[in-house]
Amino acid sequence: MSISNPGALAPPSLIQNMVEQVGQVATVPGLAQVAIQPVILAGGSGTRLWPLSREQHPKQLLNLVAENTLLEATARRFEGLAVMAGRTAGIELPQIVVCGEEHRFMIAELMKRSGKPARIVAEPCGRNTAPALTMAALHAVAMAGGQGDAVLVATPADHAVRDTEAFRAALAVAIKHADRGSIVTLGVRPSAPETGFGYIRTAKVSEDGALPLERFVEKPHLELAQHYVESGDYWWNSGVYVVRASVWLQALQQLQPEMAQACRAAYTAAEAAAGGDALCLCREAFAACPSDSIDYAVMEQLETLPDIHGMLVPMDPGWSDVGSWAAIWDIADKDASGNVARGRVLFDGASSCLAHSEGRLIACVGVQDVVVVETADAVLVVDKAHVQDVKNVVQRLRAEHGAEVVNHRKVHRPWGCYDSIDHGDRFQVKRIVVDPGASLSLQMHYHRAEHWVVVRGTARVTCGETVSILSENQSTYIPIGTLHRLENPGKTPLEIIEVQSGSYLGEDDIVRFDDNYGRK
């Protein structure tokens, strides 16, 4: 099987032909190997994990339960899967990551850091998991150049798994059934009447380690969840799906034709991002796509399709959806009193608490079942029994246009990062770090001037028609309305202090004339 360049787009005519005839796509005759396409669904904002999780830096990009981020841990979880799943052996393709356009730079860097080659599909707006999986399927078909039909192994980027080998073993069974034409999900035996999860009912007859699906059920109230647990017929819905690309596209075409058409239009009009590190979907076409989950759009209606069956493979790998601060407390290592500490934390007479400090000291004295989370610009204190209500705080902040919903004080950019140190009525002070060889866009501002002081490294500064080199302890001034650019020509990070002054200091007062990262 030949796979085309992961960074290149197939010709639009080829894509259109393939996606319009998905029912005719089949495994290559005589192929002794199954092509396995890992797919990471990296959308979502994780509002219940505020204030650590923000819109521009959601939970999948955080190291909430280990040294690595949840995204990196998810990428590494696929290692060795091809050997376990193959008929002779499997072919493991470069991972596809579907994410928001605003997160693609950070995700590209994290995937590079994890050592996993990735094909990034960037969504211009959120449309839930069904369109996201459809985009991955279209991309997998296009990248195969019409010479194969990969089995998609799709998993959320923000889950945690303790026993990776058990997870891979369950996936190996799922891949076998998906290769035969079923849509397979992984189910977790419920250990408690959890009201925050969806449930799946299965038949009792096992087929080679998989159970036929009977129905999906919504997040239940406590009494109903208790019944589900006691019956033994229900499983937690893990959100992990395994399906051949052509089977998924065929199911979507039959059950959600409007969504299928919108996804095809958004994909065929997609463009490769500057630098070739991502495929950016057509904004107008994708915005017209209905928003729905995999469960609602397809899985709950599978019984209406005579040729496509749903299966569930049970697993018990120490799985968590990391959906709340209580979930993090559940899976974290605890002291003798049941406390969990991250960062500078002291406990005295406290029990069953979680304290997470990003900088300042947290002291918990004589309290029980409390979560305390400290960041540079916000502090959360919540009873563990009410952690699901954190999303209500986020909704209120969003209604008030609170900046704490969108970004941390430290904001990551494709060229580096900046930290807003101080601000007032007509001024703002930032610490800016530019990566070696990186540069900000050629830009200007209508409402503010900027003063730059180099504190470390070497800066190349364009200010109007003048280009100059500044070293440590040197400074420059950028007047209002002047075209300018900051670059790091060196091999070490460039650090500057920027003082902005003017009548308006918002980030939207940027007019870009040239940008290495394709931002408008």
Q: Contact at 8 Å (CB) between 118 and 111?
A: yes
Higher model confidence: residue 67 or residue 107? 107
Question: For the domain that residue 422 is a member of, what is the CATH number?
Answer: 2.60.120.10
Where does the pLDDT of residue 191 fall: very low under 50, low under 70, confident under 90, or very high at 90 and above?
confident
**290 pLDDT more than 60:** yes
Q: Contact at 8 Å (CB) between 48 and 323?
A: yes
The reply to whether 393 and 437 lie within a common domain is no
Phi and psi at residue 348, to the nearest 5°: -140, 105
Higher model confidence: residue 82 or residue 504? 504
Distances (CA, A) of 259 to 17, 122, 255, 305: 18, 17, 9, 17
**What does DSSP say about strands 379-383 and 416-423: parallel, antiparallel, or unpaired?**
unpaired
Of 250-264, 434-448, 468-482, 506-520, the least confident: 506-520
Mean pLDDT of 489-511: 95
Residue 168, pLDDT score = 92
In a domain, 424, yes or no: yes
**353 pLDDT more than 80:** yes
Parent domain of 472 = 410-511
The reply to whether 386 and 436 lie within a common domain is no
The reply to whether 19 and 127 lie within a common domain is yes
Of 334, 363, 398, which residue is a domain's last? 398
Residue 45, pLDDT score = 78
In a domain, 195, yes or no: no
Q: Contact at 8 Å (CB) between 219 and 321?
A: no
**269 pLDDT more than 80:** yes
The reply to whether 452 and 415 lie within a common domain is yes
Q: Contact at 8 Å (CB) between 238 and 186?
A: yes
The reply to whether 63 and 26 lie within a common domain is yes
Higher model confidence: residue 229 or residue 205? 229
Residue 420, pLDDT score = 92
In a domain, 223, yes or no: no
Cα torsion 310, 315, 318, 321 to 10°: value is: 0
Instruction: State how far the Cα of 117 lies from the Cα of 115, in Å rounded to an integer.
Output: 7
**297 pLDDT more than 70:** yes
Of 219-228, 319-328, 463-472, the least confident: 219-228
Query: Would you tell me how many other CB atoms lie within 10 Å of the CB of residue 176?
Result: 21
Mean pLDDT of 74-98: 73
Give, for 144, the enclosing helix (H) or strand (E).
Answer: none
Where does the pLDDT of residue 518 fall: very low under 50, low under 70, confident under 90, or very high at 90 and above?
confident
> What is the percent of the chain with per-residue pLDDT over 90, rounded to a whole number?
68
Higher model confidence: residue 80 or residue 369? 369
In a domain, 196, yes or no: no
In a domain, 405, yes or no: no
The reply to whether 254 and 367 lie within a common domain is no
430-463 per-position pLDDT tens digit: 999 999 999 999 999 999 999 999 999 999 999 9
Higher model confidence: residue 191 or residue 130? 130
Number of domains composing the chain: 3
Average pLDDT of every residue of the chain: 88
The reply to whether 416 and 369 lie within a common domain is no
Output the pTM of the full model: 0.85
The reply to whether 352 and 378 lie within a common domain is yes
Q: Which two tokens stand for residue 471?
A: 């070293």
**498 pLDDT more than 50:** yes
8-63 per-position pLDDT tens digit: 444 444 344 434 443 333 333 333 467 899 999 998 878 899 999 999 899 999 99
141-183 per-position pLDDT tens digit: 998 776 668 999 999 999 999 999 999 999 999 999 999 999 9
Q: Contact at 8 Å (CB) between 185 and 162?
A: no
The reply to whether 16 and 94 lie within a common domain is yes
Instruction: State how far the Cα of 91 lies from the Cα of 34, in Å rounded to an integer.
Output: 6
Residue 257, pLDDT score = 96
In a domain, 315, yes or no: no
Closest Cα partner for 231 from 209, 195, 201, 206? 201
Residue 516, pLDDT score = 86
Residue 90, pLDDT score = 57
Phi-psi label, residue 147: left if phi above 0, alpha if psi -120 to 50, beta otherwise: alpha
In a domain, 346, yes or no: yes
379-399 per-position pLDDT tens digit: 999 999 999 899 999 999 999
Where does the pLDDT of residue 354 fall: very low under 50, low under 70, confident under 90, or very high at 90 and above?
very high
In a domain, 86, yes or no: yes
DSSP per-residue string spanning 381-448: EEEGGGGGGHHHHHHHHHHTT-GGGT--SEEEETTEEEEEEEE-SSEEEEEEEE-TT-BPPEEE-SSE
The reply to whether 476 and 387 lie within a common domain is no
Of 398, 418, 450, which residue is a domain's last? 398
The reply to whether 390 and 414 lie within a common domain is no
Where does the pLDDT of residue 195 fall: very low under 50, low under 70, confident under 90, or very high at 90 and above?
confident
Question: For the domain that residue 33 is a member of, what is the CATH number?
Answer: 3.90.550.10
Phi and psi at residue 58, to the nearest 5°: -75, 175
The reply to whether 389 and 430 lie within a common domain is no
Where does the pLDDT of residue 311 fall: very low under 50, low under 70, confident under 90, or very high at 90 and above?
very high
